[in-house]
Every structure is written in structure tokens, then in C-alpha cells.
Amino acid sequence: MTVIGLLHPGEMGAAIGRCLVGAGHTVLWDPAGRGTATASRAASAGLTAAAALPPGDRLTALVRRSDVILSVCPPHAALDVARGVADHGFTGIFTDANAISPATARRVAGLVREGGAIYVDGGIIGPPPEAPGHTRLYLSGAGAGCVRDLFAGTAVDARLAEGQEFAASALKIAYAAWTKGTAALILAVRALARAEGVEQALLAEWAMSQPALEQRSERAAGSAASKGWRWVAEMREIAASMSAAGLPTGFHEAAAEIFRRPPG
Ligand SMILES: NC(=O)c1ccc[n+]([C@@H]2O[C@H](COP(=O)([O-])OP(=O)(O)OC[C@H]3O[C@@H](n4cnc5c(N)ncnc54)[C@H](OP(=O)(O)O)[C@@H]3O)[C@@H](O)[C@H]2O)c1
């Protein structure tokens, strides 16, 4: 049985935490600064709120008790979460499983290593895990096998990403570059047709020649309405990754702008 600190139990984090609890581990979370939706997700997933230990705060208690800390938060918060953990002197295994570029993952690794922790890189592909076969947690770097083994027998298919130390983040970023990049593109296309007064004509043409696209654009609009705020930072992480690889950044800078706008 391993004690795992989970920062934070969002839609994905809570589902991952539930799997770990089901595998017999203790999963701690830190309520400080989090809202009521996070608290109720954590409770229903069977997670344990870290106790406030005077004179320390709840994060101190979580860091002291945890063997492993998983960071599953909005990508724009990944560095702050890692800094908080490092500042509290964490010396176990820290895994960032967020949609961040390999360069940002390297910065996260630097922060937590300075504090004395081991860094394992992570990237999640698929929906919040409920049944086996849909959600993969890619892991890379020394110590990745230890994190993979925590998920044995759960609905999370944890597997090692071959290659360089930050291969897990690179894989997630490349995957999302297509899925969310094309979602942004189809939203922009429909917005253009709407602005030009030809949206109904475009839908009629799609029905004849590209029958999958209307439904695809509806799905993209629904996802962007609920998660687009979080995808802005993710698109910027992708653009930075493209830049680091000597590739054009414009696709995903534009995608960030599409997700930044209120749904049309
Ligand atoms: N959801 C998916 O289908 C999915 C799929 C693949 C990968 N992922 C990855 O999983 C990660 C988390 O996604 P999610 O769906 O769980 O997001 P989410 O449902 O929006 O939850 C985010 C969690 O982080 C907390 N949070 C919000 N702002 C924060 C901040 N500034 N600092 C620290 N914590 C903050 C939230 O707490 P409060 O709201 O209570 O403040 C909430 O508990 C992302 O990196 C994403 O790329 C998600």
C-alpha cells in the first residue's frame, strides 16, 4: 500500500484517485484553495483530505505523508503546483501528468529535484477512467515503472513511453495537437461561415460531401464550451513545443485564440 498525494481532484484527477483507492492505496488531497465541486468529487472518489497539522498547513501534511505525488491540474497551474510541493520539501516521487510541453516538464522536473524529489514524467490520453481500455497514462524517465505499478489491476492503462526522459509529455502534446487543433479549426470554419451568412449553406454542403463534419463541429463546440478555458494554456504549450522542434507555431496559437473566445 502506497500513500499518494493527488493535486488536484478535478474531473480527471478524482477518477484516477478513485482507481488508486480501489487498488488499495491511500490517496490524500489538499482542500486549501479548492472549491466545493472539487471537495465533493474527492469525497465521492474515496480520497482523504490531508489533515491540518499545526503549525503546518495541509500541504505540509500531504507532502510529509505521501510516497508519491501526482499532479493532475490545469496545465497553466503545473509549475505552481510543483513549486509548492518542492517548497514543502517533498523527497518522494513526483509525477506531473498534465498537458505540458517537454520544456515545461523539464522546468517542473528541475523544481522538484531541487527540493530533493525524483521526477517521473506523465501524460494522460483518454477520458476520466471508469472502465479498462479507454484511458492511458504514459510515463517516462527513471522511476516510471514504480508509478506504472501503482495502477496494476485498475481501469488506468499505465504504460512506459519509450524514448527520452520527457517522452510522456511529448506524446501527449503531439496527440492533443491533432485532436484539439482540429477541433479549433472546425470551430473557426463554422464561425467564418456564420460571419459570412453562409452557415446553413455550408451545413447543407457538408451533408452532401462531408457528412461527418456537422456532428464533429457540434461535438467540438460542446467540449470547447466546458473545457476551452483550460485548453488555451494547452494550445500555448503545443505552440511552444512546435517552436522548440523548429515547426510553425501559428496553428496552435490560433487554436488558443479560438478557445479563448466565448463560444459563438
Ligand atoms: N478531463 C479529461 O478528459 C482529460 C483528458 C486527458 C488529460 N487530462 C488532463 O488532466 C489535467 C486535469 O484535467 P481535469 O479534467 O481534471 O480538469 P478540471 O476538472 O478542470 O480540474 C482541475 C482541478 O485543478 C484545480 N485547479 C483549478 N485551478 C487551479 C490552479 N490555478 N492551481 C491549482 N489547482 C487548480 C481545480 O480545483 P477548483 O476548481 O476546485 O479550484 C480542480 O480540482 C489536465 O492537465 C488535462 O490535460 C484531462
Q: Find the 17 Cα to ligand 1 centroid distance in Å.
A: 13
Any atom of ligand 1 within 6 Å of the Cβ of 35: yes
Closest ligand 1 atom to residue 13 Cα is 16
Give yes or no for residue 132 CB within 6 A of ligand 1. no
Ligand 1 centroid distance, CA of 156 (Å) = 17
Measure 206 CA to ligand 1 centroid, in angstroms: 35
What's the CA angle centered on 149, arms 5 and 30, to 5 degrees?
A: 5
170-260 — its CATH code?
Answer: 1.10.1040
Note whether 78 and 99 are within 8 A (CB).
Answer: no
Q: Which residues pair with 140 in a beta bridge?
A: 121
**Does residue 230 have its Cβ closer than 6 Å to ligand 1?**
yes
| Residue nearest to ligand 1 atom 38, measured at CA | 34
Tens digits of pLDDT across the chain (264 residues): 999 999 999 999 999 999 999 999 999 999 999 999 999 999 999 999 998 666 568 999 999 999 999 999 999 999 999 999 999 999 999 999 999 999 999 999 999 999 999 999 999 999 999 999 999 999 999 999 999 999 999 999 999 999 999 999 999 999 999 999 999 999 999 999 999 999 999 999 999 999 999 999 999 999 999 999 999 999 999 999 999 999 999 999 999 999 999 777
pLDDT for residue 154: 98
What is the assigned CATH class of domain 3-165? alpha beta
pLDDT of res. 53: 63
Q: 8 CA to middle of ligand 1, Å?
A: 7
Shortest-distance atom of ligand 1 to CA 234: 47
Residue 18 Cβ < 6 Å to ligand 1: no
- Ligand 1 centre to CA of 103 (Å) is 20
Q: Which atom of ligand 1 lies at the shortest distance from residue 100's CA?
A: 45
The answer, yes or no, to whether any atom of ligand 1 lies below 6 A from the CB of 34, is yes
Q: List the chain domain ranges.
A: 3-165, 170-260
pTM for this predicted structure: 0.96
